[in-house]
Structure 1
Amino acid sequence: MRIERATTVFEQLLNLYTREGLTVPLEDFTTEVLAGVLKSDQGMLDDFVHKMLHQDGGHWKVMTQVYYPLEDSLDCFVDMVFHNEDSIAFIENKVDSHLHSRQLERYERVLLLLRDQQSYHHVSLHYCTKRLEQIDDAFEVEFRSFRWHDIYKFFTECKENSLVLAFLQFLERNKLMRAMEFELFEMDGLKGLPKLLHKLDGMLEPVRFEMEKRFGPVKSRDGKQISQITDHGRYAISISPAFGGSYSDLTAGFLFDDEPSLLVQLWSNRRNIHSERFHRIIMENEELFDSIILKEKGWGFRFSLPLTRIFSEMDQYKAILQWMVERLDSIESFMMETEELEWDMEIKRSIIAAQGEGRYLVQLGGGRGQILDLFSGVINPPQNCDSILKMGYWEDCQLTKEEEKEILNTQVRMIKGLLRGTRGQVSRPRN
Structure 2
Amino acid sequence: MLQVEKSQENLIQQFSFRTNPSSDNNTSLSTDRLNGGTDCGEWEDSDLHCDPADECGVNEFFSPVGSVSLAAGQTETIELHYLPFHLGRRHCSVLLVSQQVGEQVYLVEGTADLPLSSPLTTKPSPNVVHVSSATSDGADPRPAVNLRCGVGSTLDEVVCVPLVNGLWERALATVGQQRMSPVEKKRRSLTHTLDSSTVRAGVAAAALTTPQSLLVPGPVQSQVVEYHVEVSLPEHFLFPHTITLPVARDARVTQDNLTDSEVVMVPLRFHAHVAGRFRCQLVLQSWRDIRVYLLEAVVTAEGGHAQLEFTTPAHLSVTQDIPLINESRQDWRLRGLVSGCGFYGPPVVYIRAGEKTCYPLTFRPTTQSIVTGRLSLLNDTDGTEHSFTLRGVGERSLPLDHVVIHCSVRQVTHSTLQVPNYSQHPLTCQVDTLLL
Q: Give the TM-score, by structure 1 length.
A: 0.18
Report the TM-score when normalising by structure 2.
0.18
Q: Which has the higher strand share?
A: 2
Q: In proportion to residue count, which structure has more helix?
A: 1
**Higher RCO (CA < 8 A, seq sep 6+):** 2
Structure number with bigger Rg: 2
